[in-house]
Each structure stands twice: as structure tokens, then as C-alpha cells.
Amino acid sequence: MRKVSRLSRFNIASLALGLAFLYLPILILVIYSFNDSRLVTVWGGWSLRWYREFFSDRAMIEAAWMSLRVAVSSATIATLLGTLAAVALSRGARFRGRTLFSGMLYAPLVMPEVITGLSLLLLFVALNAERGFWTVTFAHTTLTMCFVAVVVQSRLGSLDRSLEEAAMDLGCNPVRAFVAVTLPLIAPAIVAGWMLAFTLSLDDLVIASFTTGPGSATLPIRIYSEVRLGVKPEINAICTLVIALIAVVIVIASLASKLSSSQGESAAPL
Amino acid sequence: MTDELPRTDAAADAAGDVRPAAGQPLLRIEGVAKTFGSFRAVDGVSLDIKAGEFFALLGPSGCGKTTLLRMLAGFEAPDEGRILLGGKDIAQALPHERPINMMFQSYALFPHLSVRDNIAFGLKRAGMARADIATRVSEMVALVKLEGLEKRKPDQLSGGQRQRVALARALARRPQLLLLDEPLAALDKKLRESTQGELMELQRRLGMTFIIVTHDQEEAMTMASRIGVMKAGRLDQVASPRELYEAPRSRWIAEFVGDINLFDAEFKLRDGHRLVIGTGGAGTLVVAEPREAVGETRFSVAIRPEKVKLSRRGPVSEAGRETAINRLDGVIADICYLGGTTTYKVKLDTGGMLQASVANSARLDVDAYSLNQNVVAWFTPDDCVLLPS
């Protein structure tokens, strides 16, 4: 029973201003993606012309496909590694240097992307790796793994330890107890972590441009290079599609994490 | 007689174990110790538990009782000592290898499983046949009176219902030993009292061995047939509730279990089977000679508040004159009305403060004393307990 309080006029005004600040540019972009005119700033009536243009633009479609593949594979690897790290940090015995380890795990959260990108580029060059799909995927995995670890670890931290003990008491060995009890309970957090990693990878420009090679541009790189030659309304259409995809993913992720936290509240009184 | 339900525990049968009959030794704890870092949580505890017993581990928080229980369940391994269950050392066995189940303080119900699946969880792991599991689950549901709630999830249950699910889940595997970690701590007072009775009834009917951990001395006294009082990792006294209350072995136990009047005392002279002692605060008292001689000349004397009688002029009957040797004059300094009883604090003329608990046996307050009233507090030599100080 949450108390519904009425918003004051001041609150409404500040909310409207804040939302306008955040979403007005995006709204304009979306509206102009349906513009029939060749000039971005001149309104020429409603049309789906630029969407058709995009779907017949081979290079652009290839970049989008590349981005999707990178996002899915890096998110999957990051989720696997991040979950393992979170489990080790919150469930493992208090090993020496644990604080240092968790600090190192979270460092990429605050590391400037230019540094991450540059250091990865130097690594790939040193390893003499051919830059392309896999280098971008690995780079994005290092970027997004810590986000997954944070999400999963917070869920693990709120989980009653005695749940696993109860499972062991009732005949499970430690691995079975984890699979039968812990995994289903942290699954929503794992899903949310994957979604987060996916969107982060999808919209990353800096790290991708450091670590990608010729002929394997991701969508943000492609868009950025197009824009430098002048903004075509086609870009608006692509951006609108990306926004729609990310919005869907974020809604699913937040639903998943909401489900996750409501399940964790089973100890609360009715 | 003690065992009405058939013993068909798949896990136990597979292990080929034989359950000791009621009254036979079941569990032996030998010099068990556990250290966390530099903190010695359990410090050399030895204890024997018989089959069919309802045993309570009582102590303040941090006394090591929960650690001891967790060592019995297998969540902690003892650093020293042995834990023998039916003659077999299980001290280093993992939790799932022991025919012991535990009911957790938080209940630890699996939130993603229904009541039925929670209860069936341990049976599935034991490899029981589907039909047998269904039978056992409905048996358990009936046992803890949860009929009709089988499909609910734990967060759709009240606190009391959750407690029952946790109990049914722990009982379902028919463990040789059931451990209960503060099982009633989360319930309100009324529910706690009725649940105490149900737990005792259940334990008697199943003939199972229960070990309960609690910090609530009333709960331990009500339910357990024997109580072990723990303090700073050690078992201070193991005794029946009555013995613990009437013949505590130390000053600390006397104060921990129930209310008590304590005075520092000094031996003066012996008069047959009576000792005359001098106290600070309550003057000279005559006490019965203790069964075990108190070695030192300085000790404490303890009198339970309900053993202290109050009167306006002192005892008058012949019988009273003979036994009521200890007569102390004083003034009522404080009155605490508790419904069934009233606790008076009497400021003695000799300087001490004495608590007297008087049953309110009549509805009208003709017997009640008022503040600042002069009274005589009296008790017999047998009501006094001598304790090493």
C-alpha cells in the first residue's frame, strides 16, 4: 500500500523540464526520421522513404548485423564470466586479497573508455591478432563483464545464505544446492545483466573504433563516419530503429530485475 | 507406542541404519571445540543425548549455542572433538550425508517453490518414488495442518504458516535428529505459546529426538525435558527445567533463569543441618545445609521471589512459626502489577532490597500491599540456595 501523494505545481514543472531536457532531442530525431525531404532541417511531409533507403543500403545493413552479432556474443560471454565472478566474490571463502579483487573487477566501470580502448588495441597489436569481429567482441566483454557482476552480486547479497544451507541439509551437495536453489533465484538478475551488457555493447563507439579492423565496422562507427560527410535523413531512421530496440531491451531488463527483487522479499510480512 | 508412523525413510534405509529405541543413547558430543579467528565460539563441549529426548540449548546470544547446532548439522566442522551419531563419528561429514535435518531460524523456505515442492524437496533428493513422495507430503501437510495451502508460494503465507512449512520440510525425511534453531523467535507471543504446545505434542507422537536452540528461558523450560545452559562456549549446567530453576549451579545461571534475590554471604556457624550465615543487605539468615558442601566461607545466597512471603505482622500459625525462621522487616518500595502475580520490592531495614512475587489469588485487593507500608518478608531455610560467588 504505497501512499499516493499529489504532485505540486513546482514538481510538475521540474519534471516536465527534466524530461524535455532528456527526450526533446530524441523526439526531434524520431520525428525527422519520417521526413520526406532530403534536407534534415526542412520538413517535407510524412514518409517512410529513409527507412526503405536504409534497408537497401548494403554497407549500413552489414554494420548493423555486425553490431548485433558482437552485442549478442559479448553479452553472453560477459554474463557467464560476470556471474562466475559475482558468485566467487559473494559465496567463496574470504580469501586473501578479496577486496583488491572486487576493486579490480569494478575498475572498468569508472575507467575512461579511451584508456580501455587504447590498452586493448595495444594488447591486440602485441598479440598480432587480426582485428575484426573477435577483437571487438572481446573488448566489449571486458567492458560489460563488470556491469553483469555488479547486478548479479547485489542479488546474491540480498539472498538468504541459509537457503543454500537448507538445500544441503535436505540432501544436496554444494553444486546441486547452487543449481536447484540459488540459480533459479538469481536468474532474473542474470537476465538483466545480459540485457545491460547487450545494450552497452550495441551503442559503444569508442572502444569499438579502437579495436575493430578494416571492413568490419559496427553500426555506431558506420553512422559516425557517415555523419562526418553530412547528415542524411537515413541516419535518423537508423537511430530510431536502434532506440526502439534498446527501449525494448531495457524494459525487459527492468521487468526481469523487478521480478527478481519481488521474489527476494518472501521474508517480509504480509 | 512411541512410533505410530511407519519408518520408510529412503535415505535412512539405503544407509542401512538402525534407529536406537527411545531412551537409548543417540548422540554423543565429545570435547567439541570451534574457533573463528581468535574467538573460541565453542570451547570443549561434551554432551549425551538420548533417543526421544527434547533437549534445549539455552544461552544468551553469542554463547556458541548456534555454532554447536551448526556443527551437528554439518555447516561447520569442529576443530577438536568427536560427534557420534549412533556410534559413528560424523564430525567431518557434509550436511547431505547426515541423517539429521534442521529447521532454520529464518525458515529458509525456497521462494520459487510451492509449499508442496518445498516439503518434497528433500524426498526427491533421497530418490524416493513419486507415489511415495506424494503420500509423504500429504501426510506432512496434515501433520502440520496446512491442508489446502499446498499450491501456495511461501510469500503468500503468514508467519505461522511459514513456520509450519519449515517444520514439515525438516520432518519429511524422518531424520534421526531434528535441530531447531530459534524456531519460534519470529512469531508473536500468543502464537508462540500455542506453537510450543504443538511442537511438544508432535515430538511425543513421532517419538523423534529434538534439539532446540533458544535464548528464551521460558521457552526452554516449557518444552524441553532437559536443558543445557551455555555460556561463553561452555556448557555450564545440564539439568531438567525444575533442577535448573530450583538448584542452579552457579550465580550466573540463577540470574539467567528467572528472577532471583541474591546476597553476598559469609559463613557464621553450624546448627545441626542448618547453617547460620551473615549477609550484606539481609542481615543474618538461617539456611539449609547444601547437599554439596560449599567450600569457601564466602558465597552467595539466592532466594526466588515467589518463595518470599509477605505479611503485615509476620507468620502466626504454629507451622509457620516453626519454619519461617527468616523474618525480615521492611517497607514496600515498589509495586509491579502483572495480572496473575504482583511483584513487590521490599526495602529491608537491614539495607538490602528483596523482591517478593505474590499470587493475586483473590479478585478484590484485600491482600494487596501499598507503597511505604511496613511488612514482614519471610521464607524458610529450604528456600535458600547457596551458590559459589
Please state, in angstroms and rounded to a whole number, the distance separating the CA atoms of residues B180 and B163.
11
Question: By the CB < 8 Å criterion, does A166 face chain B?
Answer: yes
In a domain, A29, yes or no: no
Distance between B301 CA and the closest CA of chain A, angstroms: 44
* Digit-coded pLDDT (tens) for A121-179: 999 999 988 888 999 999 999 999 999 999 999 889 888 889 999 999 999 998 999 99
Determine contact: A170 vs chain B, CB below 8 A: yes
Written as nine digits, the cell of A252 is 525487459
Strand order of the sheet with strand B39-50?
A: B39-50, B25-36, B80-85, B88-89
Give the pLDDT band (50/70/90) at residue B11. Answer: very low
Contact B184, B220 (CB under 8 A): no
Instruction: Tell me the C-alpha distance between A153 and B149, whole Å.
Output: 33
Query: Residue B107's closest CA among B150, B170, B197, B21?
Result: B170
Question: What is the reported pLDDT for B9?
Answer: 47
Considering the domain B259-388 in this protein, what is its CATH number?
Answer: 2.40.50.140
Q: What pLDDT does residue A123 have? A: 93
Q: What is the pLDDT of residue B16?
A: 45
Selected for mutation to probe chain B from A91, A169, A176, A270 (highest B CB count within 10 Å) is A169
> How close, in Å, is residue B73 to chain A by CA atoms?
7
Nearest CA to B382 among B316, B314, B303? B303
What is the structure's pLDDT at B234? 93
What is the b/e burial string over B214-250, where b = at least 16 CB atoms within 10 angstroms of the residue's CB? bbebebbbbbbebbbbbbebbbbbbbebeebbebbbb
B102 contacts A166? CB cut-off 8 A:
yes
Could you tell me which chain A residue has the CA closest to the CA of B121?
Answer: A170
Which residues of chain B neighbour A159 with C-beta distances below 8 Å?
Answer: none
Residue A268 lies in a domain: no
Q: What is the 3-state secondary structure (H, E, C) of chain A?
A: CCCCCCCCHHHHHHHHHHHHHHHHHHHHHHHHCCECCCCCCCCCCECCHHHHHHHCCHHHHHHHHHHHHHHHHHHHHHHHHHHHHHHHHHHCCCCCCHHHHHHHHHHHHHCCHHHHHHHHHHHHHHHCCCCCHHHHHHHHHHHHHHHHHHHHHHHHHCCCHHHHHHHHHCCCCHHHHHHHHHHHHHHHHHHHHHHHHHHHHHCCCHHHHHHCCCCCCCHHHHHHHHHHCCCCHHHHHHHHHHHHHHHHHHHHHHHHHHHHHHHHHHHCCC
Q: Are B68 and B9 in contact (CB under 8 A)?
A: no
In whole angstroms, give the CA distance from residue B244 to residue B253.
8
Main-chain dihedrals φ then ψ at residue A27, nearest 5 degrees? -60, -45
Which sequence spans correspond to the domains of chain B?
27-246, 259-388
Q: What is the distance between the alpha carbons of residues B326 and B308, in angstroms, rounded to a whole number? A: 10
Residue B320 has pLDDT above 70, yes or no: no
Q: Is residue A234 part of a domain?
A: yes
State the pLDDT at residue B317: 58
> Do residue B96 and residue A171 have CB atoms under 8 angstroms apart?
yes
Contacts of B159 in chain A (CB under 8 A): 269
**pLDDT value of residue A254:** 80
pLDDT of B177-228, one tens digit each?
999 999 988 888 888 888 899 999 999 998 899 999 999 999 999 999 999 9
DSSP of B88-108: EE-TT--GGGSSEEEE-TT--
Number of Cβ within a 10 Å radius of residue A56: 9
pLDDT of the residue at B4: 41
Which residue pairs, CB below 8 angstroms and at least 24 apart, start in B235-242? Answer: B235/B45, B235/B46, B235/B47, B238/B47
* Residue from the list B100, B106, B126 with its beta carbon closest to the beta carbon of A267: B106
**A179 close contact with B: CB closer than 8 A:** no
The C-alpha cell that represents B312 in the structure block: 503485615
3-state secondary structure of B142: helix
pLDDT (mean) for A38-47: 80
Chain B: residues touching A (Cβ < 8 Å): 11, 73-75, 94-96, 100-102, 104-106, 108-112, 121-122, 125-126, 153-159, 169-170, 173
Percent of chain A with pLDDT over 90: 38
**Can you tell me the distance from the alpha carbon of A12 to that of A7, in angstroms, rounded to the nearest whole number?**
6
What integer pLDDT is reported at residue B312 of this predicted model? 83
Chain B environment of A172 (Cβ under 8 Å): 96, 125
Q: How far is CA B97 from CA A95, A180, A251, B44, B73, in A?
A: 27, 18, 45, 24, 10
Are the Cβ atoms of A162 and B110 closer than 8 angstroms? no
Q: Are B306 and B315 in contact (CB under 8 A)?
A: no
Which residues, 6 or more positions from B159, have their beta carbon under 8 angstroms from its beta carbon?
A269, B186, B187, B191
CA A244 to each of CA A36, A58, A123: distance values in angstroms, whole numbers, following the listed order = 21, 21, 35
Any domain includes A218: yes
| Confidence bin at B313 (pLDDT 50/70/90) | low
pLDDT in tens, B154-182: 999 998 999 999 999 999 999 999 999 99
Residue A26 domain flag: no
Task: Say what the pLDDT of residue B13 is.
Answer: 44
How many A/B residue pairs have CB atoms within 8 Å? 76
Which of A171, A176, A181 is the closest to B110 by Cβ? A181
Is the pLDDT higher at B292 or at B49? Answer: B49
Contact B11 A173 (CB under 8 A): no
Per-residue pLDDT tens for A204-224?
999 999 998 887 889 999 888
pLDDT value at residue B14: 42
Q: What pLDDT does residue A120 have?
A: 92
Residues of A in contact with B101 (CB under 8 A): 169-170
CB-nearest to B101 from A169, A184, A266 is A169
The total number of structural domains in chain A stands at 1
**According to the model, what pLDDT value does residue A88 have?**
86
Length of chain A: 270
Minimum Cα–Cα distance from B120: chain A residue: A170
Averaged pLDDT, A29-56: 84
Name the burial class of residue B343, with classes exposed (0-12), middle (13-18) and buried (19+) by CB atoms within 10 angstroms of its CB: middle
Least confident segment among A41-50, A130-139, B34-43, B233-242: A41-50
Per-residue confidence (pLDDT) for residue B253, from 0 to 100: 92
Position B338 pLDDT exceeds 60: yes
How do residues B104-143 score in pLDDT, each as one tens digit? 999 999 999 999 999 999 999 988 999 999 999 999 999 8
Answer for the pair B330, B353: CB distance below 8 angstroms, yes or no. no
Q: Are B155 and A173 in contact (CB < 8 Å)?
A: no
Handedness of CA A90, A94, A97, A99 (dihedral sign): positive
A15 domain-assigned: no
Q: Crossing angle for the helix pair A183-202 and A133-157, nearest 10 degrees?
A: 140
Q: State yes or no: pLDDT of B365 exceeds 80.
A: no
User: What 8-state DSSP symbol labels residue B198?
Assistant: H
Instruction: Quote the domain boundaries for residue A133.
Output: 57-261
For position A1, what pLDDT does the model report?
Answer: 44
Identify the CATH number of the domain defined by range B27-246.
3.40.50.300
- What pLDDT sits at residue A231? 77
pLDDT surpasses 50 at A59 = yes
Show Cβ contacts of residue A174 under 8 Å, excluding neighbours closer than 6 positions.
A164, A168
Cβ under 8 Å to B: A residues 194-253: none
Verify whether the Cβ–Cβ distance B121 to A270 is below 8 Å.
Answer: no
CB-count burial class (<10 Å; 0-12, 13-18, 19+) for B300: buried
Mean pLDDT confidence for B10-20: 51
Instruction: Look at residue A14 and tell me if it is in a domain.
Output: no
CATH number at residue A131: 1.10.3720.10
Question: Min CA distance, A242 vs chain B (Å)?
Answer: 35
Average pLDDT taken over every residue of chain A: 85
The strand order across the sheet containing B209-214 reads B100-103, B177-181, B209-214, B54-58, B226-231, B234-239
pTM of the model: 0.78
Contact indicator for A144, A111 with CB cutoff of 8 Å: no
Question: Is pLDDT of B388 > 90?
Answer: no
pLDDT tens digits, one per residue of A63-103 = 999 999 999 999 999 999 999 999 888 876 667 777 888 88
Where on the phi/psi map is residue A189: left (φ > 0), alpha (ψ -120 to 50), or beta?
A: alpha
Question: Is residue A269 included in any domain, yes or no?
Answer: no
pLDDT value at residue A94: 67
Average pLDDT over residues A7-26: 89
Question: Which residue on chain A is closest to B171 by alpha carbon?
Answer: A170
Task: Please compute the mean of the pLDDT values over residues A176-201 and round it to a whole number.
Answer: 91
Q: In Å, what is the CA distance from B196 to each residue of A20, B147, B280, B382?
A: 61, 20, 41, 32
Question: What is the spatial distance between Cα B175 and Cα B181, in angstroms, rounded to a whole number?
Answer: 16
Closest-CA distance, A36 to chain B, in angstroms, reads: 53
Would you place residue B283 in the very low, low, confident or very high pLDDT band (cuts 50, 70, 90)? Answer: confident
Cα distance from B10 to chain A (closest Cα, Å)?
12
Within its chain, how far is the Cα of B228 from the centroid? 7
More confident residue, B274 or B115: B115
Q: Do B94 and A168 touch (CB under 8 A)?
A: yes
CA distances from B305 to A7, B252, B357 (A): 61, 17, 5
